[in-house]
Structure formats: structure tokens, C-alpha cells
Structure 1
Amino acid sequence: MKSTIHKLSSITAPKHSFGTRGLPPQTKINDPKFWDMYDNDTLIFDCVWQAKQGRLRLFVPKLFGFKKKLMASKFVLDGTSSPKPKLRQYRQCDILEFQVSEPVKELAICADDEMLTVPVHQTTPDRFAGKNVIYTKVQNDDLSWIYDWGLAHHRNHGADAVLVTNNASTAYTSDELRATLASIPGMTVADVLESPQRHGPVGNVCRGTGWAKFQQVLCLNVCRDRFFGEARAVLAIDVDELVASRDGTSIFDATMQARMKYIRFGGEWRYASLTEADLRHADHILTDDAQVPCNSKYCIVPDSFLGRTLWSVHSLEHVNRRVFSPHKNFYMLHCHGINTSWKKDRSGLSHRAGPPDPETKAFMETSFAHPSIGTKQ
């Protein structure tokens, strides 16, 4: 068993020299609470040198107001001046890319009289090589939920490695989270990545919410580049989501066999008749009476044509979702009560809850044959 805690090489922009990020053009603030949620000051998110590609990547939230100053800076790699990096711009993040054939330990950014030093992480693709990986990001999600989430994907799909980003949880430490992941049967790698940066605005605090969220997409792509380069396949879904198969096939196996090494699937809401705080996934067997669909998610092979594009939360950055219809065999059970209501209130039984679904009941019984297993915090 491999199990450890990873950190990012993050740097906050010095306000006196860089100012602040500013807003995406599409974002209009409705509530001052926006500023407590928005990342207006992270300059560098992480720095990764990839030996196989011979390049160093500097992952940054959308630069906006930082762009002119950063791109005019002098970049120094292990004491040697470097040519200007290529700037790749995406919807929710930017990447500065240097062509570097030799390992780099430290990047220095010199802006006027300011010098910022950024430790460089070397990729460790062997850590997850050949593994069926499940990935998610959490903030105070109950440890018993995280355990059940991992257990279900091991039993139903053969997941044998897990990486979870801890986004500044206060209910437990990263080591307690790591220990929970390591206790899931069948996991040969159980790691945690610490990311204390703000997630971004939720609710009605602004218009254009999606344009102002950087952290989740950055985490996905940092993990892809640092850890998942040789993974068999990666399934990136939330803790309240369980992937089911109509014929019992593993989604990892199916993704490996897919022509483009990518499978997109839809979701269905499930509810529990109980409303107590100790709800588990297994309690969610009631259907969605209103048949409101969930946003799609996906499974992907990192070392593939599509796997090397930018990963977003529900799809790939430059791939139209309509090009890949949701797979008919795989679907996601979205468990309404497995949530801290961080985005909106999901406590209590929704008015949309319909009758029990026999197929979901059978899935839960198979997934959680020993419901007492797990850590309740």
C-alpha cells in the first residue's frame, strides 16, 4: 500500500507589485459575499516538470489583471535565465509552458524589484501506473461517505487507487482523510492532495458563476500531469455520485476498450426516506419523480489523444459534449443527502422524491454488503 499527502507550490501575488486578479468579463457581482469565495490573489497554483514531454508547466488561475506583469517578468530556472514561456489560455485557468529537457528544482520569477521562488514538482507517473483511479475533491464531507464512495467503486468497477484533494477541511486533518482512504479494501494507492485555495463563488452571489471558479479545474489537470500520466484510466466524480453499470461491466475496462479512450455518462438523482444527519449512500433508493437529469461526468485514459486535452469538471475543455452521447450502459446515481449543503441546502427529503427503485436497491445492497464498515466522524 502506498499512501501519502502531496502539496502544491502555490504563491499569493504580492499586492503592492501585482495588484489583484480582477473579475472575468462575464461575472457580475450580486452580493458582497462574493469576495469571500473568489480567488482574487493566487498567482501560482502549482509548478510541474514533465520528463517525458521535456517541459515545465506553471499552472495558474485565470491571470486577468496579473497577466501583463507576469508575462513581462524574467524567469530563471535553477539560476539560469529562461526564454519567455508559451501562454496557453483556457476558460478557467491558464498554463505557462517552458521547454526544458533537464530536471528543474526551482523557478524564480523576477518582476521589477520582486523575486518569487517556486519549488518545482517532478512527475511521479509510476505511482498510479496501470491503476484504475478514482478522484474527487472534498471539503468536510463525512469520512464515512468518502469510505463508502471508494468501496462502491472498488466493488463495482475494480477501482484500486484513489486520490482526493482536501480543500481546507476543518472537520478532520489531511492525515485522517488519508487514513480513511487507506482503509478502503482493494486500494493499493491512497493519496491526498492539499489545496487550501478558495473554490470560487456559488449560489446567487454573482452572475456568470462558472467563469469565476478556477480551483477544481486546476486540481484536475495538476493531478493529471503530476500523478496520472500512466494510469490505466481515471474516473473523476464527486463523493455523492456512484457510477452504476446496467450489465455489470467495469467502466475502467469499457473506457480502455473505447475507440477514443473516453466515456461520458449521465446521472439520475436518488433520495433517502430518512433525513437524519447520519445518512449513507445505501439509504438512497428513491427515484427522482420529476426526472430531472444530472450534469454528465466522464472516465478517461490520461495517455490518449483526448486525455492530453484540458480536463474540466463535466467534460473536456475543447470537446463539445454533443459529440459524445452519454453511454447507454453506464449512469451515475446522484445521492441527494450525501452533501454538506455547501452549494445550496440539500437537507431533508426533496419534494421530487418518488417511489423506491428496485434496480437501485439491488445496486446498493451489492455495493454495501457490510454497511457497518467505515469510519463515522
Structure 2
Amino acid sequence: MTTDTAMHIILLDLGREMRGGQLQVFYLARALHRSDEFSVVVACPAGAPLAREAAAAGIAVLPLPGRRSWSPRALLALRREARGHAAVVLHTHDARAASLGALCKGTWGGSVPLVHTRRVSYPLGRALSRRKYLAADAVAAVSAETGGVLAAAGLDPARITVIHSGIDPSRYYPRRERGDGRFVFGMVGALTPQKGHAVLIEALSVLQAREAGDAAGEATGGAWNGAPLPPWEVRVVGEGPLFGILLDRADELGVSPRLAFLGRQDSRRILPDCDALLVPSVHGEGSSGVIKEAWVTGLPVICSGLASNLELVRDGENGLVAPPGDATALADAMRRVATDLALRARLVRGGAVSVAHYTDTRMAEAYMALYRRLR
């Protein structure tokens, strides 16, 4: 229960889907709602999944009016919300919300501290994009790489705080033993260029070709000179504009029978039936949520060596790392994991230790500490 002296946090997110960023907003709102030190309201488009999720948990919701969600009516609604409390922080969580937050800051003056969270490591583009971040009193970057991008764009490093995204371990299910003799790789991510699906399909071609070489060269030790691969397949969760292009490429390389596109699914339901997670992203990662989901599920992780991924994964300890865009290295890592039970066990143990540092509770505590500094 909060008091009249509690600092009031307005969490502003203009997304109309329940993706990873919105889940982070919900986790933070839930922690603030349970706190005696803070009060919270989730400001988001009327009818958005985040609004429903927050309301179901008893968290106050400010439905923003208008189709565009940052109309003059939305600006007025936020101003009324801020005026009702003695100490307020406006905290934005997506790019459009950051624009609206900067507009609020310019309209309200310095009376309400403004915090932005930046979840991706893409360079800031236009001057307008930079200005909205420069307007903030503090910017939370979800990785050190993202923080470096912000600093390179001209933000004062003293205003940048690295706060990795967190997960709620209680929401996830442990890996299940299927008992079918197959090895199932999973990948979770929108079918967009930065996620590296094209690299994965090339890697499947390499893996399949070398498997055929093993079979043809058994007398001389095989192409890899290692344990034979079990029957294997890859399940891809996600939807996006590259679906048809990826299907065509898989057909062209002859790996379609190994590959199942499952569309948009709840990763919590899919990962327990996988044996390893693939994260072959080629750019733009922030603080990968699916790596943490794999750790808590009990899966070994194979990821690309992007800077943000390397903040989470230590090669050979809690995952395997392949250079970004290197299909052959990715295929080699897949084979190692599929054929080496001791390696899988070591990576799973390392992941179980690592995920304790990236929980929703730790993430919320870090944000609360940031709010206190803005008093």
C-alpha cells in the first residue's frame, strides 16, 4: 500500500501488442504496485494488451485517447495525471513514447523528471531521434552496448544507466524429455533481417551437407570425425515480412524438411520441447530476453557474438558463441551441442547460475534506485 508521499511513476508505452518490451513494463509496474515507496500508473493505448494485463493485476491504467495515442488529448491526460501527485517521474518505454515524453517535458518544463528506456542497440538516426533522448533527465540502456550508442550520439554518460531486462522465472516451464530420439533446435524472434534467420538457413545447409559427408565417409572417419548427429530439426517461432523469402531459400538449399515455421507462439510453451536455443542475430540486439528464457527452461544456448549478447553469454560456460553472420561456425556449434551430452549439461548449469542475475525483481530494483536519484 502506498502513501500520499509516495513517488508516482507514470509508465508510458504506446505499443499495441504484447511483446518483450511491454512485458518488461508489466513486470516493472507490478513491482512498483507492490511497493510502499512508489505508486504507479500504466499509460498506454486504450484496449492494448498491456492495459488488460495491468488491470487484471490490479495496477492502475491510464487509457490514452485518440487513434494515434499521442494526440493533444493524450498530452492533456498525462498532464492531469502528473498534477495529481507531489512527486512524479514520467518513464517512457518505446520510441513513439519517447517522442511523446519529450513533448511533455518541453510543455511542462522541469517539474517532472523524464526517463527513457532504450531497448535496441541501433545507432540513433535523425537529429529528431537524438533530441528526444537528449531531453531526458536519465536514460536506461538495456545493455552496455546500447549505452555506448547513446553516448556516441551525444548523451551525457552521467545520465545513462545500464539496466538489463529481466524475466520472471516462475512463469516458465522446465525442459521436457520427449523420448523420441530427435534433437530439436529452437529459435524465437520476428522474421526480420536483424534476427539472422538467413544465416541459420545457410547453417542448416552446411550441417546437412557435412552429415551426408559423415555418412559417405564412415570408413575414413567422416567429414567431422566426431560422433554422428542424431536425427535433428529446427523449430522457428515468430512472424514477419521475411517469411516467404526464408521459405524460398530453405527450398533452394534443400533444408525445408528440417525446418518448421510455427508462426507467433508463446515461447514458454515451445521451449520446453526443444533441446537447444539458437540466437543467430546479426545486429540490433539489446538484452536478449529469449537467452534468459532458455536458461531458466534448462536449454543450452548458441548465440552470435554481438556485443550485447556477449554481455550475457560467456563462450563455453553458459552458452556457445559463433561470429555474427558465420553460417559455418554456427553449424559447427550446433553439431557440438547435439553430439556432446557433457557440454550440454555444463552449459545448462552455467545458464541456471546466470539467469539469477537477470530477474524481473533485480530489474525493478535497479529502476527504483534510478527513480530515487531523481528526487
* TM-score, reference length from structure 1: 0.30
More helix by share: 2
Q: Which has the larger radius of gyration?
A: 2
- RCO higher in structure (CA 8 A, sep ≥6): 1
* TM-score, reference length from structure 2: 0.30
